[in-house]
Amino acid sequence: MIATGEFLLDSSTAYIAKWNFKNSTWSGIGAPNDLPGPATAFSADDNNLDKLFVAGQSTSGTPYLSYWNGTTWTDVNNNTLASGSGVQQLAFVPLQSDHESNDIIEKNRMLLVSGALNINDTSLSAALYDGQDWYPYLVSTSATGSAGVISQLFYSSTSFSLSGGRESCSHLKLPGCTY
């Protein structure tokens, strides 16, 4: 189990920690000062659980996106998420066509970053990151006309429908489904 936020572990501040079920203890991932501030979003690469991504705000208010390769944290934001950005969710999504291969994200997937994003002086609600480049994905607008925020997105790699009848929800174990 991995938790993000702001914790006090062994008298040091940690922003990401893992639970050891064998000895019932928490430990930080990386050195205490590796991440610049509290985390607001986290995702693990289900193809390689040594690869972790965490986003948040530095203690000075600057947004960050960092990548854990199993040994060290690396800043992969490279000042792309500008001041005022707030990441709410990180999620891996599959691709129909591969992107250029790199050491950060497998070529058959991208990292979906959602929230209130400011990238290249453009307000976005979601963007895709392939380990090298950022791609605008969704723009939303609030009821007042200002930039919108997407806190969570859901995707399914199989057919999914909430209105398609009982058969479409049987794998979800929802009330009203026949099993």
Question: Mapping DSSP to helix (H, G, I), strand (E, B) and coil, where does residue 91 land?
Answer: strand
pLDDT of residue 158: 55
Backbone angles phi, psi at 167, to 5 degrees: -65, -35
pLDDT of 172 higher than 80 = no
CA distance 149 to 16: 24
Instruction: Tell me the two tokens of residue 21.
Output: 């079920």
pLDDT of residue 166: 43
pLDDT of 169 higher than 90 = no
> Tell me, what DSSP letter sits at residue 148?
P
Instruction: Tell me the two tokens of residue 58.
Output: 């530095």
Q: Tell me the CB-side half-sphere exposure of residue 141, using CA atoms within 13 A.
A: 4
The domain locations on the chain are 2-172
Bridge partners, 75 (sequence order) = 66
pLDDT of residue 101: 85
pLDDT tens for 117-168 read 999 889 999 999 999 999 999 888 778 888 878 777 766 555 545 555 444 4
Mean pLDDT, range 27-40, rounded to an integer:
91
Q: Name the pTM for this structure.
A: 0.81
